[in-house]
Amino acid sequence: MLTSQWDTAVRTAALDSIEFYQKSISPRKGFDCSHRILYGSQSCSAYVKHLLVRQSLLSAMKLSTQRFQTCSRASQVLKSQKTAAGFRCIVIPCCIPL
C-alpha cells in the first residue's frame, strides 16, 4: 500500500511539473527540444509524460534518462550544424550531458 501511494505521489508530482513546464516555461524559452527538431518526434517533455502514464515508474525513469542522453547528443549535432549560423544553445535539462 505504501509503495502504491509513493508511486502515485511521484507520478503526480512529475506530471504536474511537466504540465507547468509545458505551459509556463517552454513557450517562453524560444526554442524546441533538440530531439524533436532533429528527429521530428515528440519533445522530451511530451515523451516523458507519455511514459509516466503508460509505463511502470522504474521503467519510465530508465527510459527518460535514455531519452535525455539521446537529446543531449541531438543538441550537439544541431550545434555543429548551426555553428556557422550563430546558433547557441542554452543549457536545459534535456541537453545537459548525462
* Sign of the CA dihedral with 42 first, then 46, 51, and 54 last: negative
pLDDT greater than 80 at residue 31: no
- The parent domain of residue 52 ranges over 2-85
Q: How much is the pLDDT for 70?
A: 96
User: Most distant CA pair in the chain: distance in Å?
Assistant: 56
> Residue 20 — very low, low, confident or very high, per pLDDT cuts 50/70/90?
very high
In a domain, 56, yes or no: yes
* Sign of the CA dihedral with 9 first, then 44, 64, and 40 last: positive
Cell of 84: 556557422
In a domain, 59, yes or no: yes
pTM of the model: 0.76
In a domain, 13, yes or no: yes
Q: How many independent structural domains does the chain possess?
A: 1
